[in-house]
């Protein structure tokens, strides 16, 4: 592998670039981004080696698409149009069904691997890229059977070298499960932040009282709306379903408090404590 192109040189794409530089020192990392300032910053930070255009994709051995999912829908077919027959392309989008459907009948569908590395922070841009972001993280691969074997091997070798765990899943199941464990938590954080900000207009001391619990819970509310709005749009059906269940649980908990049934409140929290055993098992 000599030439890797990264489309979107922010946190996700930039962290892939840093991992590749560490494991494959001779590889040339080319960056493509609609934001010229991001390209300049990535070049200055050493995240990429050179700025490039879509027309140069024909010389790529690997193309990593790390942009919002709505942009991926438009960019992916164009990338497949331009690459050589020996190039593997994978994306890092948090939704998979719409993206897989978009290129289902593309002549170079065999060159594309649908991936979702479950890793990241609330920050964005080239400066947010970090070393070892993907170590011990899960990477969900969808429709692996649709990708040419020798090309999927190249991508899977990279994921292994970066220390990632691999899970295989169909796109529909992926989007349903990720709505619960990722998309809902982001919505919850955004709405918690909104609730506190609105209250803070009348009570200026509220943030002085906020401790580490609030900070960790609302952390995801610092995430990019430009990235998350398209995710909620593409995964609308599953997101609405998870929200309905979440809202019902909140209403039930509110009813218990209003009715002063604190024994039931205790048992609700006690039974939910089991999640610490689940999370410990996947660390």
What is the tens place of the pLDDT at every residue in 45-68?
999 999 999 999 999 999 999 999
d(CA 196, CA 203): 10
- φ, ψ dihedrals at 108, nearest 5°: -110, 30
Read off the pTM.
0.88
User: What SS3 state is found at 225?
Assistant: helix
5 secondary structure, DSSP code? E
Domains and CATH numbers, the chain: 3-169 (3.40.50.720), 174-282 (1.10.3660.10)
% of the chain beyond a pLDDT of 70:
93
Quote the CA–CA distance of 130 and 14 in Å, as a whole number.
8
What is the bridge-based pairing of β-strands 165-169 and 138-142?
A: parallel
Please state, in angstroms and rounded to a whole number, the distance separating the CA atoms of residues 83 and 151: 13
Alpha carbon of 22 to those of 29, 47, 131, 276: distances in Å?
Answer: 12, 11, 9, 34
pLDDT digits (tens, 9 = 90+) for 60-94: 999 999 999 999 999 999 999 999 999 999 999 99
pLDDT of 207: 64
For residue range 122-180, list pLDDT tens digits in order: 889 999 999 999 999 999 999 999 999 999 999 999 999 999 999 999 999 999 999 99
Q: Inform me whether the pLDDT recorded for 194 exceeds 80.
A: yes
């Amino acid at each position: 592998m000599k030439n890797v192109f990264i489309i979107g040189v922010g946190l996700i794409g930039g962290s892939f670039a840093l991992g590749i530089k560490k494991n494959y020192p001779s590889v040339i990392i080319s960056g493509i981004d609609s934001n010229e300032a991001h390209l300049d910053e990535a070049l200055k930070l050493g995240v990429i080696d050179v700025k490039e255009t879509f027309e140069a994709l024909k010389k790529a051995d690997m193309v990593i698409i790390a942009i919002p999912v709505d942009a991926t829908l438009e960019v992916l077919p164009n990338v497949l149009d331009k690459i050589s027959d020996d190039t593997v392309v994978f994306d890092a989008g948090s939704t998979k069904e719409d993206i897989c459907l978009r290129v289902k009948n593309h002549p170079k569908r065999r060159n594309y691997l649908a991936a979702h590395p479950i890793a990241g922070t609330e920050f964005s841009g080239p400066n947010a890229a970090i070393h070892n972001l993907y170590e011990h993280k899960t990477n969900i691969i969808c429709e692996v059977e649709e990708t040419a074997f020798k090309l999927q091997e190249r991508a899977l070798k990279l994921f292994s070298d970066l220390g990632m765990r691999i899970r295989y899943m169909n796109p529909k199941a992926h989007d349903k499960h990720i709505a619960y464990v990722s998309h809902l938590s982001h919505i919850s954080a955004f709405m918690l932040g909104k609730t506190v900000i609105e209250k803070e207009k009348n009570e200026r001391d509220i943030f002085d009282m906020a401790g580490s619990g609030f900070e960790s819970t609302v952390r995801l509310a610092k995430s990019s709306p430009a990235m998350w709005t398209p995710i909620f749009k593409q995964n609308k059906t599953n997101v609405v379903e998870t929200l309905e269940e979440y809202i019902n649980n909140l209403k039930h908990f509110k009813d218990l408090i209003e009715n002063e049934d604190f024994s039931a409140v205790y048992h609700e929290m006690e039974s939910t404590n089991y999640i610490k055993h689940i999370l410990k098992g996947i660390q």
